Structure 1
Amino acid sequence: MTDAEELARRFEERRGRLRAIAYRMLGSAGEAEDAVQETWLRLGRTGGDGIGRLDGWLTTVVSRVCLDMLRARAARREETYGHDVPQRADEGAGAVPEEEVLLADSVGVALLVVLDRLSPPERVAFVLHDLFAVPFDRIAAVLDRSLPAAKKLASRARGKVRGAPAVPGAELGRQRAVVEAFLTAARGGDLSALLDVLAPDVVRRADPVVLPPGVPAELRGARDVARGTVALRERARFAAPALVDGGVGAVVAPAGRLLCVLRIAVHDGRVQSYEVVADPKRLRGLHLAVLDLPAGA
């Protein structure tokens, strides 16, 4: 085996981990693959000579590539919240490749949404330290920051990712149980289960952009709200519980790309009201965080 073949073999052994890091940093499988390929090209130009620890070298390079991509994305001022809102409620979902949906689910839809709200340095610092246990001295080198600055970035990002619940833990748990039951019933189009979890006088309000023509923005009463929820059950497939303004709500994010947010009010073990927020300006004003980090995130 030639030196080049040996280097290629060693790189392929590490490709999966590099792709995992890049996906969490970029939130796009295609862009993650581009970052990994660029890392391979740089390794090919450098060669194996002079690289003391290949794992660390590859992690540093792919992280810097991702950081550059995130900065370029920010510089283009891409509208990352609400830009995929379709003109009709039944559009958009079918265009998401199944493998992208499964990948986002494995990482955590809410986590991907919240990571997308971090600054590029915050996102890189959080992913490397909190998700992949990379030491801060190496993170500082990636970001070209001092060690204290790198630690501060990760801490700030961690605070944003985890958020600040507005209610005690026990109440948060009760809210979450109701919201999860609501989402399960919505995904299954189970009218009976929805009626069980909705308060009799429940109110549903929605930004008109996510509704089919002719559907009112406001519905009242458990039966009408349940029927309206069933009519849009395809969206529920992409919904995941999240911390929304300190309480338990949900994000609807096909392949981790935020489409809308459900602000859900729970009272006496039932959904008292919920609002579907899809307007980009309103989405930016919401405080979103994860309820917990998925295992292996």
Structure 2
Amino acid sequence: MSRVNSSGLTPVFFILNGVPGLEAAHIWISLPFCFMYIIAVVGNCGLIYLISHEEALHQPMYYFLALLSFTDVTLCTTTIPNMLCIFWFNLKEIDFNACLAQMFFVHMLTGMESGVLMLMALDRYVGICYPLRYATILTSSVIAKAGLVTFLRGVMLIIPFTFLTKRLPYCRGNCIPHTYCDHMSVAKVSCGNFKVNAIYDLMVALLIGVFDICCISMSYTMILRAVVSLSSTDARHKAFSTCTSHICAIVMTYVPAFFTFFTHRFGGHTIPHHIHIIVANLYLLLPPTINPIVYGVKTKQIREGVIKFLLGDKVVFTQDN
């Protein structure tokens, strides 16, 4: 039975049920998630440390990468430890306000991650199309302002989620068939009309996701045109190689994001609910896990920085713009 507070229709807490239908396999499901989370934390914190301590990496593209790493590790930390507590210790209760706070940070940070990927695409556009003006266009002040605007955009657009969700009556119960407090998962528990929530959720997806993807697409269209016009094969290969890591990050982020978004709204009766929940968790955990590995393998200066850190050797860094 759901306990309610003095407002009458607001539960004291929600119960996160984990992955519905796979309760018996929670321990086994938790193992790869825990392993990926450890890799994500170590990899992203290592990247941030490396970029902050190596002067050769004090360049715009690496500042954006550090911002992406910070966003990634913060994002998966808002959900994965709580999910592991559900799987390992059956600690399913989450305070109502804590649930709203988790919901805010999850959606704000996913919006910020999308914005950082868009900024990184613009960075590659400037670096390839205007290499001689790269340092003068993307100054530290410009980078700081771009990061601040991306953060404020996420905060301002996501804050209404908490108020729209808090106003709903929860007379049906307080069980959420999820591992974390997702906006629409919480809203669907309500016995009230959450149509406004659904409409605003779609608007935010358009304002953040579609806008960022359009900017990324335009950036890479202009990059492709500039690269194709280069006469040297080596120059074309070098230009493309500086973009491969970012393209991998885009694919790893947006593919599970779109799957989660569309199945939540249009595939509820065709796709098993446990598949949706697992993919929703991978959507938050896969990019933070993969990004440090991809950038470490594909980016020469980061590889050199890791070797210098591990071996203590003097490595000569090469410029990569």
TM-score by length of 1: 0.28
Q: Quick check: which one's helix share is greater?
A: 2
Q: Quick check: which one's strand share is greater?
A: 1
TM-score by length of 2: 0.27
